[in-house]
A and B are shown apart, each in its own frame.
Chain A
Amino acid sequence: AQRVTQPEKLLSVFKGAPVELKCNYSYSGSPELFWYVQYSRQRLQLLLRHISRESIKGFTADLNKGETSFHLKKPFAQEEDSARYYCAPTNPDRGFKTIFGAGTRLFVKA
């Protein structure tokens, strides 16, 4: 069965500290991997996708196929990064449906 695990429900760091949001997935095949972010009072939106290899707002995500992980990292957290983050693999079967992890609430303290 497809499974996405984000082990931390809440992550609290100080401004300027490094942050890593973990994501592990259990899928057959090679899913396409995304991170989405939900800021307070805003719609869910794409943060980054693996295939584009972009760095968005200082965040990067490295795919480790051996560990089936896609952790999100930022070297220096900012207060405006406080939000809920979702890891979202897209399954390469019929329809390419997207399953979300439970999400991690990141709180960056001043």
Chain B
Amino acid sequence: NAGVTQTPKFQVLKTGQSMTLQCAQDMNHEYMSWYRQDPGMGLRLIHYSVGAGITDQGEVPNGYNVSRSTTEDFPLRLLSAAPSQTSVYFCASRTGTGLNTGELFFGEGSRLTVL
């Protein structure tokens, strides 16, 4: 059971380039989300999804796009990378979107550097 898989683990971009961080989960979780982790800022929610075809903004959505065409996949797109997007990105999923929601399961993280 792979759990939550993120690719790539490391990426270096130049300002203005675009890229997609991939996230896949094999646990049939309804809820998926993306966070960025920065020193002193903790984890900040970028976007989240409560099911296929449904996405919503988190705390820091600007500069990022998401889509959820399947239950398993939740890619995060940077359309025009900026140095401020240098961070470690985590994908997380869980079962349930209502009361008594389950725990979040995290990917290993993707370290992105924008020059």
The residues of A that contact B97 with a CB separation of less than 8 Å are 95-96
Q: How large is the interface on B (under 10, 10 to 19, 20 to 34, 35 or more residues)?
A: 20 to 34
- The answer to whether A98 touches B33 (Cβ under 8 A) is yes
Query: Please, which residue of chain A has its CB at the minimum distance from the CB of B104?
Result: A98
Determine the main DSSP class of A at the interface with B: loop
Q: Which of A11-19, A66-74, A99-107 contacts B (4 or more CB under 8 A)?
A: A99-107
CB of A25 closer than 8 Å to a CB of B: no
Contact partner, B45, options A43, A46, A99, A103, Cβ 8 Å:
A99
Cα–Cα, bound, A60→B104 (Å): 19
Cα–Cα, bound, A9→B41 (Å): 10
- The answer to whether A92 touches B99 (Cβ under 8 A) is yes
- 16 pairs across A/B with beta carbons < 8 Å? A32-B100, A32-B101, A34-B104, A44-B90, A44-B92, A95-B48, A95-B97, A96-B97, A97-B58, A99-B45, A100-B35, A102-B40, A102-B41, A102-B42, A103-B42, A103-B43
Measured CB to CB, the residues of B under 8 A from A are 31, 33, 35, 40-45, 48, 50, 56, 58-59, 90, 92, 96-101, 103-104, 106-109
Measured CB to CB, the residues of A under 8 A from B are 6, 9, 32, 34, 36, 43-46, 49, 51, 86, 88, 90, 92, 94-103
